[in-house]
Structure 1
């Protein structure tokens, strides 16, 4: 939330910090995040959330209507981080190819640090219309960015021309990344295994997009 001025507009320009309400809401989200790294969403109760945040049950319902509402707010909180991670795969304004290995490593690291939360949200979205609608909207937005990126690469001659259509390529590559990230977050790997996985994914990207390297 945006802090409010500490005095009349234009007097000092100073702003006060988050309110107690902001901090309590943030504490609930922090607690939910931590608990999801320890146990399944179904096993987390409102009491668990209030205990971790140091508030009463009645205070909880001042901030959120339900545990589902907490999950939706938590999803909104991490959206910007997800957008930043996916943006690493975008071609530049001139259509030149990004550093795919770096982008893939960043994407897998996101799953390493947020895997339990992302997995919980993925499963919960199947039964929560609000969360499902939120993630569908975010996914569509991310896919639109990837499609535009592929089109830039094709126009610049760095990617093979269609077919397949950029939309189809984007869906296939995004689905591959999501599933790989999901499994990566549940499977212990050595650094050598991870390096090989990154290299394999980079080759799949290059061959799928028909990336043309300078001679």
Structure 2
């Protein structure tokens, strides 16, 4: 399987970067081809331009500003996202990745009857999120309703592909996580990805 692994964290020494390294190693050891897209290292601009927004319903939609990333997404069989949750949401650079790359003609097409969108990322069979949050489990799930999972599974995954393998592995209470707890999470990531 060819996996596009997207890392969204500005610090090379971050735990997210350690998760991404672990994921790349586990996938490669399992025989998968991994294309690492480090959004910060590749200086991805998350801002949707005026031209991109004003042409949102043009056919074909102009993706020239992100064409190289679109090509990488279109040849992938799976997508793995590695990111921290900040304010119970995606980092801005990852949200911009969705805004600019998951565009009409790439991730979906507009239904000519209006209202609905038609999934176009039929090549993507797997969408996993490897994430951390500074909040404890109960706050994310019981108080906030796990918004990132809902957005990924009900929104992005379902609107862009059908019947894909969706999974989210999260380390909660990251700000107070001990080295042992962090290593246990890396081991969990390695084991889960080795089984793909």
The reply to whether TM is greater than 0.5 is no
TM-score (normalizing by structure 2)? 0.27
Q: Decide which structure has greater strand share.
A: 2
Q: Decide which structure has greater helix share.
A: 1
TM-score (normalizing by structure 1)? 0.26
Q: Relative contact order (alpha carbons < 8 A, sep ≥ 6): 1 or 2 greater? A: 2
